[in-house]
Amino acid sequence: MESIVIGGVKIEKSAALAPMASVADKSYRLMCKEFGAAYMVSEMISSKGLCYGDKKTAVLCEIEQEELPYALQLFGEEPEFMGKAAYLLNRFSPDIIDINMGCPVPKIVSNGSGSALMKDPVRAGKIIEAAVKNADCPVTVKIRSGWDKDSINAVETAKIAEQAGAAAVTVHARTRTQFYSGKADWDIIKQVKQAVSIPVIGNGDVTDGKSAEAMYEETGCDLVMIGRGSYGRPWVFKNVREYLQNGTAPDEPTVGERMEIMLKHAELLCRYKGEERGIKEMRHNFAWYIKGLNGASKLRGASGEIFTFDDLKKAADIILETNA
């Protein structure tokens, strides 16, 4: 397939997996990679947590060879900490360091990080400059359309990012006040693409090959990124790749295949986090995997009773019997 290059890093021009805190962990990413995700970004890494030597933060920086090309994503509101954190990430050898300026979660925004930086483009520029100065790899930025509908400033922010040395910018075409609701305004992505010379990645409302192709055509973006469209559907990346190549999408997995994929995902979670924690975190993934199937509503309600891998397997068997 055609590829794009971000600061020397070659990425297939199909679909990337969006960074999603508490969702796109290592097991989730590896499942999406297996189905063809072209590029992935870590969960958010606290610049201060990294600088102060927090052990949980350091775990988020670990990179598996299977994940490459791969970015580590930093968040923070102070240039000096972001610069030092970018330097500390060098030892993990990421392909790219990404700066989060799009997270809408109140506890992140209240500290002046994430999408709060959309309200302060000057500070954002200083943060990017500090990271670029200290990183041994390309630095990119993920932004939103703006803070709210009355302050759409993605174009201005993207220009500042480019001037500060960013190698690419990702645009989630919603405002912070929208969170993840409403329709993404792809025209914002198009405007950013026309305003800067660095690669632009588009994010928002891509759920399959057809919508990925539409985003490419309507915005001119260099790469499409999928977030919630991958919930319980890691095979969406295979769908996009084949649609872009052949104009037709592969058949959706059968219920049996879907349960096999779900159990493999659970095995990875248990491997990396232990069975107790892994199965607890698998519950919301289980709900996504069974969405739309017969008996899904009843099992979602009882998912709090899933404590072990065997419990999960029994739940999968019930789904198979109910959908036979």
pLDDT tens-digit series, residues 224-282: 999 999 999 999 999 999 999 999 988 999 999 999 999 999 999 999 999 999 999 99
Write down the pTM of the prediction: 0.96
180-212 as b/e, with b when 16 or more CB fall inside 10 Å? Answer: eeeebbbebbbbbbeebebbbbbbbbbbbbebb
Of 253, 228, 227, nearest to 238 (Cα)? 253
pLDDT at 279: 97
Could you count the other beta carbons within 10 Å of the beta carbon of residue 265? 23
CATH 3.20.20.70 fits 3-246, yes or no: yes
Q: Where in the chain is the domain with CATH 3.20.20.70?
A: 3-246
Q: Where in the chain is the domain with CATH 1.10.1200.80?
A: 255-322
Of 211, 233, 174, nearest to 23 (Cα)? 233
List Cβ neighbours of 272 (8 Å cut-off, separation of 6 or more). 25, 26, 27, 278
Asked whether the predicted pLDDT for residue 303 surpasses 90, the reply is no
Both tokens of 282, joined, read 């698998």
Could you count the other beta carbons within 10 Å of the beta carbon of residue 213? 16
pLDDT at 300: 86
Q: How far apart are CA 280 and CA 306, in angstroms?
A: 8
Q: How far apart are CA 289 and CA 291, in angstroms?
A: 6
Q: What is the mean pLDDT of the chain?
A: 96
Both tokens of 165, joined, read 């040395």
pLDDT at 324: 85
Q: Among the CATH numbers 3.40.50.1820, 1.10.1200.80, 3.10.690.10, 3.40.190.10, which is that of 255-322?
A: 1.10.1200.80
DSSP β-bridge partners for residue 101: 143
Of 316, 308, 321, nearest to 259 (Cα)? 316
Percent of the chain with pLDDT over 90: 95
Of 98, 76, 115, 121, nearest to 19 (Cα)? 98
Active site residue ranges? 103
Q: Name the amino acid, one letter, at 19.
A: P
